[in-house]
Structure 1
C-alpha cells in the first residue's frame, strides 16, 4: 500500500506530493537558516536538541561546565542544578542524522561541536525524510476510503495551505512535523488493531504512541481514538470494550512498548531529580476551568483559523462524518481544542498557533471526507477550488511575511494584521500596534496586555518648511532643529505633489555633542487626488530621549524628484507602555 505514492494509479496525488517536496526544498534553500550561528537549533528546538551534544560530544548530561552549557538550553532546579526542560522525543528523531553528521565532522575540517554545517544538513535531511514518510503514510490511510483526486486536494490543502509548511521549512527542527508523522502512524495502526489485534500491530501502535507522547505529551489524548472509533451507540461501545478486554496480553504489550520508549527520559529524570516523574514546566499549567477556546481559534494573536482558515473544511468534515455515525472525529477534535486552549500560553508562540499542526494530522480523513462531499456537488466544487487556491496563496505569502517580520510570532492584533496585510516589510508603526500578553499574568491564567498609549505634547508647523520646493539637485532639503521635553514618538504628515512619491520625511535624534543616536524616515503614501499625495511617517525612538538630546528634521529626496511640499505637520508624542486587563484581576 505504501508504494501507492509516485505510481500511475495515484498520479494526481504523486504530482501534488512532488510539488510539495519541491516547494519545501526551495523554501529551505532560499531561507538558508543553516548560515545562522546555531542554524536550526534555536529557541525550543535548541532544548530538544541539547540531549544529543550532551550524550555524544560531552558524554555527560550534567551541565556543569562552561563548554557544556555554551549552546545548551536549560532551566535550573530549586537548588540550582541545570536540567533540560523538554522531553527527548525530538532528539530520538534527530539521532540517526546527528550520528552521521558527527561522523562526517570528525573526519573533516568541520568542528565536531554539534552545530556546524554537517549537523545543519542533518536537520534538513531528517525533516525532509519525515515529510516524505508522512506523505506515504497519509496515502496509505486515505486510500482506504477516497480516490486519487480527493487525496491530492487534501495534500495540497494541508501541506501547502496550512502552517504545516512553515514548520517543514523555516522551523523544520520544531516538534510538529515529527508529531504529525507519529500521530498518523498511531491512527493507521489503531485501525489495524481494531481489525486484528496482533502482536505486530500492538508493537507498532505502542511505538507510535510512545513517540508521539514523548515528543508532545499532550498528544496522549489520541489514545481515546481506538476506544471510540466506529462506536455509534451503547451496544457498539460494549462490544469495543469487550474486544479490548479479550486481548489483555496485547494491550499490556502495547503499553509496555510505549513505556520502553519513555525509559531513557525516565532515567534522565531520575539522574537529575532522583525521581522518574517530574514536572519540568514548573510555574506553567493548564486552566481547564477557563479555556481560551475562542482566542485559540480566532484571535489575531495566533488564532489557528485566522492564519490557517482552510482547516475549517476539516472541522466541517467531522460533521459530515456524523451522517455515517462516525462520532469519534468530532469528539476528539473538540477534546483536543479544549485541551490546547486550556494551556496558559494559549497562543503558542510561533506562526498560526503551532499546536494545531498536530490536530491537522488527525483531521486529514475528515478533511478528505469534506472534499469528497464537495466534489460530488459541482455547484460547491468550483467555489471551493477557488477558495483552496486563494487559501494556499495566502498561506504561502503569510509564511514569507513571517520570515520578513511583517507578521509576528505573538502580540498580533486586528490593527497590526490589517496594517501589514499585503506588505513584505513592516513600518515601525506596525510594531507599536502589537499588544503582547504579559507572561507572568498569563501563567496565573489572566489575560493582561501590554499596550502603547500616547499623549500629544505639541503640534509643530515649521514655517520655513511650508511650501518647500524640491528640485533634481536637492537630495537634502531643510534642517529644522527642536526640543520637546518627554517626547519619544513622532508622527510627521506632509501634503505634497505626487511627483514626490519617494520623498522621505527624515527625523534624527542627536545627543548633546551632535552625534546621531537614532533616526527614521520611511513613509506611507496615499493619493489625495488633484495630483497630490499625503505622506505619513511614524517612529518611536528605541533608545529613549533625554533632556540633553535634540531633534533634527529634513526632507530626504533620494531619487532627486521635483515637486512642492505644500503642508507639513510634526506631532510630538509621549508613548508609554500600559497594562490593559481583559478581565477582572485581583490586585
Structure 2
C-alpha cells in the first residue's frame, strides 16, 4: 500500500499530508501519555461513543444520564452530558445514532485489552482507550487519503490528481475539522464516502459484483452513522438507471443498497424499540429538519459560517459541473441532482451553522465527491491565460485558508460567533495588538449584563442600538401555579434577535424553601419545537416575606426562523407562591449594518 503511495506524485502528496497529520497529533498523544489531557471525548462526540463503554461495563444499552455525567465528571471537568434525554414516556435515550460506535469498536477492543493488561480503568476513557481512539482517527485519515487518490485517478491524470488532493487539504476546512473535531462523524464519513464512491464508479465501469456489494455495504454503514447519508444513494441510482433503465436488471442490483442500509440500522432500531418502546424515533434533538424553510444563503455565504465564504475553493465546482457535462453526462446528472439536494437538506437543519466549527463542517463529509468536480475544472485549464487565472485562484484560496486556520487556532477567528464586522476587523492579520472581540456576535452561552453598555457604545456607522419595553405591569399578581405573562413572535416585538432582556421585578416570596420560576421559552414556529429554556429562580433561597427589588438578565436566543415565538410565564414547581407587585421586561438589541 505504501509502495503504491510512493510510486507517483499523487501518492507522494497523499503520504506527505498523512505524515503532517501524524506530526500534528503527536503533541496531543504526548499530553495523553503524560496525563495532561484526559477527556477522550465530550459534547456530540461523547454521544456517538458512549454506547461502547456502557455496553462493555453494564452489558446493556439502557444508558442513564447519571452514569453518562459521571464519566464526564471523572475525565472532562464535569462537562454537562446532554446526550441522554428523557422522552415523553419517561425513557432515557441517547439522542445520537450509534453507527459511529461500529467503526470505533475495533480500537475500543484493543484499548480494552491494554487497559486490562496494564491495570488501567476499564471504563472506556482511561489512557489506553484514548491513545487507540486517536490512532483510529489517524487510520481513517489514511483511508480517506488512499481512496480519495484512487477515486481521482479514475478521472484525472496523476499530476492533476496530486494538485486536487493538495488544494483540498490546504485550501479547505479539513485540517481544523479533522484535528480539532476528530471525535465527530466528519472524519469517518469523509473516508467512508471516498470508499463507497470509488466502488460505485468502479461498478459502473466494470459491472463487478464485488464493487457493487462494497459500495452498498459502505454506504449502508454511513447511513447508520448519519441518516442523511441516504442522499448519496443518488449516485448508484442514477448510474444504474443509465445502465439498465427501469428493468429487471436495475432492480436486481439496486435492492442491495436499501437492504444494507436496513441491516446496519437493525441495532439502532432494536435500541429504540427495547429501551425507548418504539421501533422508530426520528429525532430527539431540540432542533428539527425543516425542509420548507432552508437557510441556503446563510449556509453558503454568511459571515457566521458561510461555506463558500470561508472555503471559496469550491466555487470551482460550478465550472467543474460545466466541464463534466461535456465529459461524463451520467455523472454530470448525478452531481446536478445530488449537490443542490445535499445543500438544501443540510441548510434546513434549524441549527444550520452546526455549532462550533470552521466553515461548514457537514460539507467535509462529501469532499471526496466534490473534489472530483474541482479536478475536472483544473484539468480543463489548457490555455496559458486559463492556467494563470486558475492557478492564481488556487494559490489565493490556499493562502486565505492557511491564514484563517492560523487565526482560528490563535483565537482571532471565532468558530461560532463570526460577524461581518469581526471578519473585516481581522482580515489578513496574523498579529493583532490589543485584540478585541467587541464585534463578535453576542455569546448566548453566558449572561453578561455588561454587554448592554458595550452595545450602547458600538460605532453608530455599523450598529443600531435599540431599547424596547416588551412588557410592563404594576397590577398585583399572586403566583401559586403556572401563569402566562406573554406569548410573542419575537421579531414582531424587537428589531433583532441579537440582544438581551432586562427583567425588573418587585415581589415577595412567602416560602423561600420552595421554587417559583419566571420562565422564558423560545420555540420554533414549526411544530412548536422548544429549543431554549431560560428559567429565573425567584423564591428558593431568597429573603422571605420582604419586598424584593431584583434585576435579572436573559439572552435572546439566535432565532431559527423569522416567526419563532417566546413564551414568558411564572410557574410554581413545589407549591410555593410569590406576590408580584411590578414587572418590567426591556429588550436591549443591536442591528448590524
Q: Do the structures match in fold with TM over 0.5?
A: yes
Is 1:223 matched with 2:233?
Answer: yes
CA distance, structure 1, for counterparts of residue 157 and residue 436 of structure 2: 45
Conservation of the 8 A alpha-carbon contact between 2:196 and 2:215 = yes
Is 1:309 matched with 2:312?
Answer: yes
Report deviation, 1:415: 1.1
Can you list the C-alpha shifts for 1:98-152, whole angstroms capped at 9, x where unaligned?
Answer: 1111111111143222112222221221111111112221222221221111010
Which of residues 275, 278, 289 is equivalent to 2:278?
275
Conservation of the 8 A alpha-carbon contact between 1:317 and 1:367 = yes
Can you list the C-alpha shifts for 1:414-439, whole angstroms capped at 9, x where unaligned?
Answer: 11122233556778874332225979
Conservation of the 8 A alpha-carbon contact between 1:197 and 1:247 = no
CA distance, structure 1, for counterparts of residue 346 and residue 281 of structure 2: 21
Residue equivalent to 1:506: none
Can you list the C-alpha shifts for 1:259-313, whole angstroms capped at 9, x where unaligned?
Answer: 2111111111112212221123344212222211111011111111122111222
Conservation of the 8 A alpha-carbon contact between 2:240 and 2:254 = no
Conservation of the 8 A alpha-carbon contact between 2:204 and 2:239 = no
CA distance, structure 2, for counterparts of residue 99 and residue 217 of structure 1: 26
Change (3 A) 1:63 1:327: closer
Change (3 A) 1:65 1:329: closer
Aligned length: 449
Pairing of 1:173-572 with structure 2 (within 5 A): 173-195=183-205, 197=207, 199-229=209-239, 240-242=244-246, 245-324=248-327, 325=329, 326-349=332-355, 350-374=357-381, 376-423=382-429, 430-436=436-442, 454-455=455-456
Report deviation, 1:179: 0.7
Is 1:39 matched with 2:39?
Answer: yes
CA distance, structure 1, for counterparts of residue 128 and residue 365 of structure 2: 29
Residue equivalent to 1:53: 53
SS of alignment partner, residue 246 of structure 1: helix
Residue equivalent to 1:533: none
CA distance, structure 2, for counterparts of residue 580 and residue 213 of structure 1: 30
Change (3 A) 1:583 1:63: closer
Residue equivalent to 2:514: none
CA distance, structure 1, for counterparts of residue 442 and residue 205 of structure 2: 49
CA distance, structure 1, for counterparts of residue 282 and residue 323 of structure 2: 40
Conservation of the 8 A alpha-carbon contact between 1:134 and 1:180 = yes
Change (3 A) 1:363 1:580: closer
Structure 1 unaligned regions, length at least 5 = 440-449, 458-574
Which of residues 10, 15, 21 is equivalent to 2:12?
15
Farther-moved stretch of structure 1 (246-255 vs 140-149): 246-255
- TM-score, normalised to structure 2's length? 0.69
Report deviation, 1:220: 0.8
CA distance, structure 2, for counterparts of residue 300 and residue 251 of structure 1: 41
SS of alignment partner, residue 345 of structure 1: coil
Change (3 A) 1:254 1:335: closer
Conservation of the 8 A alpha-carbon contact between 1:5 and 1:139 = no
Change (3 A) 1:36 1:279: farther
Change (3 A) 1:451 1:369: farther
CA distance, structure 1, for counterparts of residue 456 and residue 6 of structure 2: 66
Residue equivalent to 2:70: 70
CA distance, structure 1, for counterparts of residue 343 and residue 439 of structure 2: 28
SS of alignment partner, residue 455 of structure 2: strand
Q: What CA RMSD, in Å, does the superposition of the two structures yield over aligned residues? A: 3.1
SS of alignment partner, residue 6 of structure 1: helix
Change (3 A) 1:229 1:378: farther
Report deviation, 1:175: 0.6
Structure 2 unaligned regions, length at least 5 = 72-80, 446-450, 459-552, 567-593
SS of alignment partner, residue 413 of structure 2: coil
CA distance, structure 1, for counterparts of residue 36 and residue 438 of structure 2: 28
Conservation of the 8 A alpha-carbon contact between 2:62 and 2:92 = yes
CA distance, structure 1, for counterparts of residue 118 and residue 415 of structure 2: 37
Which of residues 148, 159, 171 is equivalent to 1:149?
159
Report deviation, 1:48: 0.8
SS of alignment partner, residue 75 of structure 1: strand
Report deviation, 1:399: 2.5
Report deviation, 1:91: 0.9
Residue equivalent to 2:75: none
CA distance, structure 1, for counterparts of residue 139 and residue 90 of structure 2: 39
Is 1:25 matched with 2:22?
Answer: yes
Can you list the C-alpha shifts for 1:435-471, whole angstroms capped at 9, x where unaligned?
Answer: 25979xxxxxxxxxx99863369xxxxxxxxxxxxxx
Report deviation, 1:188: 2.0
SS of alignment partner, residue 162 of structure 2: helix
Conservation of the 8 A alpha-carbon contact between 1:182 and 1:208 = yes
SS of alignment partner, residue 154 of structure 2: coil
